[in-house]
Amino acid sequence: GAVVSQHPSWVICKSGTSVKIECRSLDFQATTMFWYRQFPKQSLMLMATSNEGSKATYEQGVEKDKFLINHASLTLSTLTVTSAHPEDSSFYICSARDRGNRRVETQYFGPGTRLLVL
> Which residues form the interface with another protein (CB under 8 A)?
4, 6, 32, 34, 41-44, 46, 49, 91, 93, 95, 104-105, 107-112, 114
Q: Which is nearer to another protein, 75 or 112 (CB)?
A: 112
* Nearest distance in Å: CB 16, another protein: 26
CA distance 78 to 107: 17
Q: Which is nearer to another protein, 22 or 82 (CB)?
A: 22
The DSSP string of the chain is ---EEEE-SEEEE-TT--EEEEEEESSS-EEEEEEEEE-TTS-EEEEEEEETTSPPEEPTT--TTTEEEEEEETTEEEEEE-S--GGG-EEEEEEEEETT---TT-EEE---EEEEE-
* Nearest distance in Å: CB 37, another protein: 11
CB 84 within 8 A of CB 116: no
* Nearest distance in Å: CB 55, another protein: 15
Q: Which is nearer to another protein, 55 or 83 (CB)?
A: 55
Q: Which is nearer to another protein, 16 or 111 (CB)?
A: 111
* Nearest distance in Å: CB 95, another protein: 8
